[in-house]
Amino acid sequence: MANVYEGGRLVLFHLDLYRLESAESLHALGYEEYVYGDGVAVIEWLDRVPKAAPLDYLRLTLQILGAKSRALAVEDRGPRARALLEAFSARLDPRRPPEP
């Protein structure tokens, strides 16, 4: 249910809660250490335990549009998430000159 990927600028913690049997299982998984640790936590199936959602996070939703087409929606849930999303959106702005 938890995988750790090292070697990048930050450690990536991937948590898959799909097979989670109970909210109590989160503690056994070490959930808090992943979510509030030094790195980035990506959580799949958070809707299975909505009370476990951090107070500040980005929610990404992938929608299947066709056999080879997807749409990604990103929502901010908190002030830090909002700042991250705004910074990311600014980097995607075609009017913005590329950084060196």
pLDDT digits (tens, 9 = 90+) for 39-71: 999 999 998 888 889 999 999 999 999 999 999
HEC string of the chain equals CEEEECCCCCCEEEEECCCCCCCCHHHHHCHHHHHCCCCEEEEECHHHCHHHCCCCEEEEEEEEEECCEEEEEEEEECHHHHHHHHHHHHHHCCCCCCCC
Q: Is the pLDDT of residue 29 over 70?
A: yes
Predicted local distance difference test score (pLDDT) of residue 97: 63
pLDDT score at 4 = 94
Q: Is 65 exposed, middle or buried (0-12, 13-18, 19+ CB in 10 A)?
A: exposed
Prediction pTM value: 0.77
Q: Could you report the per-residue pLDDT of 64-99, keeping only the tens digit for each?
A: 999 999 999 999 999 999 999 999 888 887 676 665
